[in-house]
Structure 1
Amino acid sequence: MSQLPQQPAGISVPTSADVARLAGVSRATVSYVLNNNATVRISEPTRRRVREAAAGLGYVPHAAARSLRAGHTRTVLLPAAQAPAVPLYQRFLTRLESDLRRLDYTVVQYGSIGLEPDEAARAWAELRPVAVVSPGATALTPYGIGVLTRSGAKAVITLGPQPVDGAHAFVMDQREVGGCAVRHLLSRGRRRIGVVVPREPDLALFAEPRLAGAVRAAEDSAAPALIQPLPLRYDEESAEDLAARWRTLGLDAVFTYDDEYAMLLMRALQDTGVEVPAETAVIGADDLMLGRLLRPRLSSVTIELATAQPPAEIIDRLVRSPGGAPERHYLLRAAAVARDSS
């Protein structure tokens, strides 16, 4: 059996008993304060005295011992290594992690690339997280959700375009982004609209719903409209090839998935003599500052997170009150920003 490493001679590890003596309280009070136990009423001066004593001694609670007592950790697992490189997605994860830390959760990012969904769930369960926020790239199954719940997870939450049965969900419905872009182009009189579909596999989770939203918006239009998917790699050669064929496609507008693909394709179109917006209107998504500096200035879909309650607070509530019916929280609000390119 492996053993913990020996402490260097002359160095003692501070204990909760040391904190209790210095603060003049019981060890139970130290535990209540440092574990943020809200079920016991402790005055704010006492809480402050305990925290100051712990800080002065350099004492921190033993996470493993606390986990054994509680049956779970204060860990929220974010398998963020699989997260797509989408600005809004990354901003959401950064804000979520910061807010969870303020609520005294330990946030752990865990990679499970190469694992099947049920294997990933078992790997996550080994860490005994109190909650898991799983990206849509990992297709959780009822079995995986059960494994996590039985291991002590109070809340299993998916993050992606579609909810998963049996789990709570933060839904980033990307269909509205594509629909918003196409409705804007239709309002400008454009009827033959290309939709860029990135060839990069890690973007499929967002690209396919955006295309579906674009198709739905065209179908719902009072005037006939055509949607043409346009596969495109994020490199100049692919953009130049598409631009060279552009006039044979008969399109008068394009939704480019996001602003970066818009910049790539718009430059290639201009280099081949296609006038923007006279021949082809262009709209991207994410409303990046760089797009506003282009000429013509890039129209875009601005995307905001919109929930009645901050996601970290929702997770905290689900952890404190587990066992309820799965909740669905829709996070996205999209709006077209019209500029010169459309």
Structure 2
Amino acid sequence: MSQSPKSPTPPTPATGPSPLTPPPPVPTSADVARLAGVSRATVSYVLNNAEAVRISEPTRLKVRRAAEELGYVPHAAARSLRAGHTRLVLLPTSHVPVGPLYSAFLNELQWALRRLDYTVVQYGSLGLTGDEAARAWAELRPVAVISLGEITLSAHNVATLKRAGARAVITMGPDGVPGAHALVMDQQEVGARAAAHLVERGRRRIGVVVPEEDGLELFSAPRLAGARSVAGADVETFPMAYTEESAAALAARWRRLGRDAAFAYNDEYAMLLMRALQDEGLAVPADVAVIGADDLLLGRLLRPRLSTVRLELPTGDHLAELVDRAVREPSELTRRHDLMTAVAVHREST
């Protein structure tokens, strides 16, 4: 007797969701409103930090908790359409200036803008010219652009950004640009204060140490120019990388260079060079007076204590409020805001 063929064993069902299972629905502001027991308008006011409408703190807390529970995130593009502009502040940079002083300044600015409900985006602009950069930045439709001065902008570039919706263009540097607000940080004053301090101490043969690293010319070039502008200063330039090896190589040549003082780009380069000079048997300040810039705490802990140029910068809150005011009250007028003063601080190294 023939046997019937056995039925094939059914496959074991796969665990987990099927590839065809639709994703869970994206929560909406209406979902948040239902869960919180408020109107959609109230949800919008709370989550968009609207200051013109008074909402009680318990209601704000209830809306935020409902949004967090549902995983609701406001749609930035939709909000921009309603407002007529984004809340995006573009901070283009190819090289963020090294050193704790400027890092702290930029971090404080970004936090302050965030508290004002702006989203700060850093944009890598390496290799872009003014025209290329303006078009690239404009594609993101920022409400404001804060240019650190690494790329030279023209009035045409500012107009390109404003046609794309930028309500404010702010430049940081020694010169203003028509149509933009100029936040002037006069780096020449830093070099002039350092060299004048050395000349006053009887040191005229000044070696100015400039970084070999790319991207720091924005600061080092005007500081060098400022040192050269001081009457009585005999200035010679010496490139140095931020490495022990480079500092040691420069220190090994120092006696032959005939320089009785060194002004380094900033305190970090000054400390590196001072240690190398001491390793070469040169006394600071008897043989070489050394001064830096930025007034870092570490310079005060060295022996001898490092003389420096202290930079007095505005707070991040102050600058963020200036940006916010420029956004809320756009103007074609060029306005200049002096942001920095420099003061030489005499310590043991000079």
Q: CA deviation at 1:154?
A: 1.0
Equivalent-residue separation in structure 1 for 2:165 and 2:21 (angstroms): 35
SS at match of 2:120: strand
Asked whether the 8 Å contact 1:162–1:173 carries over to 2, the reply is: no
Are 2:191 and 1:183 aligned?
no
Q: CA deviation at 1:89?
A: 2.1
1:164: which partner in 2? Answer: 177
Match of 2:333 among 311, 322, 325: 325
2:251: which partner in 1? Answer: 243
Asked whether the 8 Å contact 1:82–1:135 carries over to 2, the reply is: no
1:63 alignment partner AA: A
Counterparts of 1:1-342 in structure 2, within 5 Å, are: 9=22, 11-40=24-53, 42=55, 46-216=59-229, 218-219=230-231, 224-306=232-314, 310-342=318-350
Asked whether the 8 Å contact 2:267–2:292 carries over to 1, the reply is: yes
* Percentage identity across paired residues of the two chains: 65
Q: CA deviation at 1:117?
A: 1.9
SS at match of 2:137: helix
Equivalent-residue separation in structure 2 for 1:168 and 1:66 (angstroms): 27
Equivalent-residue separation in structure 1 for 2:192 and 2:21 (angstroms): 63
1:338 alignment partner AA: H
SS at match of 2:190: helix
Distance 1:325 1:30, change over 3 A: same
Q: CA deviation at 1:331?
A: 2.2
SS at match of 2:228: helix
Q: CA deviation at 1:112?
A: 2.1
Q: Deviations over 1:254-312 (max 9, x none)?
A: 11111222123223322333221112211111223333333322222222313696111
SS at match of 1:176: helix
SS at match of 2:281: coil
Task: List alignment gaps of at least 5 residues for structure 2.
Answer: 1-18
Distance 1:19 1:235, change over 3 A: closer
Q: CA deviation at 1:33?
A: 3.1
Q: CA deviation at 1:207?
A: 0.5
Is the deviation greater in 125-134 or in 267-276?
267-276
SS at match of 2:216: helix
SS at match of 1:76: strand
Q: Deviations over 1:152-207 (max 9, x none)?
A: 11111112344333211222221122122122222322222222122223111101
Equivalent-residue separation in structure 2 for 1:307 and 1:330 (angstroms): 13
SS at match of 1:182: helix
Distance 1:188 1:71, change over 3 A: same
Asked whether the 8 Å contact 1:196–1:232 carries over to 2, the reply is: yes
Asked whether the 8 Å contact 2:93–2:125 carries over to 1, the reply is: no
Distance 1:289 1:36, change over 3 A: closer
Distance 1:22 1:236, change over 3 A: closer
Aligned alpha-carbon RMSD (Å): 2.6
Asked whether the 8 Å contact 1:196–1:230 carries over to 2, the reply is: yes
SS at match of 1:255: strand
Is the deviation greater in 275-284 or in 164-173?
164-173
Q: CA deviation at 1:24?
A: 4.0
Is the deviation greater in 278-287 or in 48-57?
48-57
Asked whether the 8 Å contact 2:177–2:334 carries over to 1, the reply is: no
Distance 1:29 1:285, change over 3 A: same
The two structures have a TM-score, normalised by structure 2, of: 0.85
SS at match of 2:82: helix
Task: List alignment gaps of at least 5 residues for structure 1.
Answer: 1-5
Q: CA deviation at 1:119?
A: 1.3
Asked whether the 8 Å contact 1:83–1:137 carries over to 2, the reply is: no
State which structure, 1 or 2, has the greater radius of gyration over its C-alpha atoms: 2
Is the deviation greater in 266-275 or in 253-262?
266-275
Distance 1:12 1:197, change over 3 A: same
Asked whether the 8 Å contact 1:307–1:331 carries over to 2, the reply is: no
Equivalent-residue separation in structure 1 for 2:244 and 2:43 (angstroms): 61
1:129 alignment partner AA: P
SS at match of 1:202: coil
Asked whether the 8 Å contact 2:180–2:332 carries over to 1, the reply is: no
